[in-house]
Structure 1
Amino acid sequence: MIKESLDSQLIIPTVLSEDDRPAGVFVFLSDQMPYHYKLRHISRHIESMAQSYKRYLQKVLDLQMSDTILDSQGKVCFANDPDLRPGFRTTFHPMELWDYYYAWWHSRTYWNHLEDPDSTLPLPVSDQFWKMVEFGSELRKLHGQRKKLGNPGIDFIKSKDFNTGQSSTRFTLSDEMQQTGHLTVNAKYHINNVPEPVWAYTINGFRPVLNWIEKHTFENLEDAQKTAFIQMLLAVDETQRIQRKIDQYLTKNQT
């Protein structure tokens, strides 16, 4: 008998799991594989879940799960017309189920109220489904297509002396009014004008900015890596804004 929760492995492909990152947090912010490869892996993985789970989800949502369709370039095609109002939709795409949970994974509500949030997921709530899909889709695109973000004065600065040692102080606040500061990436590079909330951002013990820095502490960074990191800082900043919207919505629409 299916319990009132799902195993997170039904939604998250093993290939996209990382030991240092909780559940599905920032999966699309990771550079494990190209964006469209992730879409395909996730969509196929969800589509392949046992029929008993699939039927149960369809019953809970009163919607049918559509099949994964790829275009001529192997990219995932979404079935629903984005202009079609939720009340008139009769199907949901596997990626829309993912987006629903991607919104949950980036909410404080999820991590604060589930007993075992790393391995179990709450069943979808039909009244909340499409709004949470909207939030999750926004996050997925933000994390997976970071190159579209701007660059408001955040840039790498080369330090005069270079050794591959690890800095004892990563972040120093330089503008209290703007809440921005100096972030040491490694002994060779630092960045100015980094918002303190971005540096300090934590979700269930995971700090995406610190995690990235620790993985690249001893590297002589390429230009592409610098650009990717700056875009990640901007994405984390925007994630916090969306996260507040998700938590406000969930608080207002508690079931």
Structure 2
Amino acid sequence: MKRLVLKTIENSIEIPFVEDEFESGAVCFANDEDLRLDFKLQFTIYDVVNYVYGIYQLYWEENGKLEVSRLKIPYPVNAHRFWEYSTIGKKYRQQHVINKIELTDVTELQWENLKSKI
């Protein structure tokens, strides 16, 4: 399941997943907060966790508190949307609004093809 989720995201955003964010050959400023999103050449599990936080915040604002395990995570339609929600989610996560996602394997959540929504 884990590999399928990550491969589907890879195909959707057309950017490769890397296990180790410090792999050789990566952009030296890849983790810089000021790096433009269109220059990102890879994504990691941390980016996926941030994306899930971004989606969670969207649902939370619309529907109120929701159990993370019941949340249906839409696959991103493109890289722009992935990085947009990942950026939102990173800020949200840093505020320590919720902690459960970090304890959950995000690839084990309910992922769906809801391309029209996100």
Tell me if TM exceeds 0.5.
Answer: yes
Q: TM-score, normalised by structure 2?
A: 0.58
RMSD: 3.1
Deviation at 1:109, TM superposition (A): 7.2
From 78, 89, 96, give the equivalent of 1:136.
89
1:122 paired with 2:74, answer: yes
Letter in 1 for 2:2: A
C-alpha distance in 2 between matches for 1:138 and 1:102: 9
Deviation at 1:135, TM superposition (A): 1.1
C-alpha distance in 2 between matches for 1:63 and 1:103: 19
From 9, 14, 33, give the equivalent of 1:82.
33
Considering only CA atoms, is the larger Rg found in Structure 1 or Structure 2?
Answer: 1
Residue pair 2:56, 2:71 contacting (<8 A) in 1 also: no
Q: In the alignment, what sits opposite 2:3?
A: 51
Give the count of matched residue pairs.
Answer: 87
Partner-residue secondary structure (3-state), 1:66: coil
Identity %: 23
Name the structure where helix makes up a greater proportion of residues. Answer: 2
From 52, 57, 62, give the equivalent of 1:101.
52
Name the structure where strand makes up a greater proportion of residues. Answer: 1
Unaligned stretches of 5+ residues in structure 1: 1-48, 71-78, 145-234, 236-253
**Higher RCO by CA contacts (8 Å cutoff, separation 6 or greater):** 2
Q: TM-score, normalised by structure 1?
A: 0.29
Deviation at 1:128, TM superposition (A): 1.4
Q: In the alignment, what sits opposite 2:18?
A: 66
Deviations 1:55-94 (CA, angstroms, capped at 9, x unpaired):
2210111111122469xxxxxxxx5332221111110121
Residue pair 1:105, 1:111 contacting (<8 A) in 2 also: no
Residue pair 1:80, 1:93 contacting (<8 A) in 2 also: no
Residue pair 2:15, 2:41 contacting (<8 A) in 1 also: yes
Residue pair 2:52, 2:89 contacting (<8 A) in 1 also: yes
Deviation at 1:105, TM superposition (A): 0.8
Residue pair 1:103, 1:135 contacting (<8 A) in 2 also: yes
Unaligned stretches of 5+ residues in structure 2: 23-29, 64-68, 99-116
Deviation at 1:108, TM superposition (A): 3.8
4+ residue segments displaced more than 3 Å: 108-112
C-alpha distance 131-52 of structure 1, shift in aligned 2 (>3 A)? closer
C-alpha distance 129-110 of structure 1, shift in aligned 2 (>3 A)? farther
C-alpha distance in 2 between matches for 1:108 and 1:69: 29
C-alpha distance in 1 between matches for 2:21 and 2:47: 14
C-alpha distance in 2 between matches for 1:63 and 1:118: 28
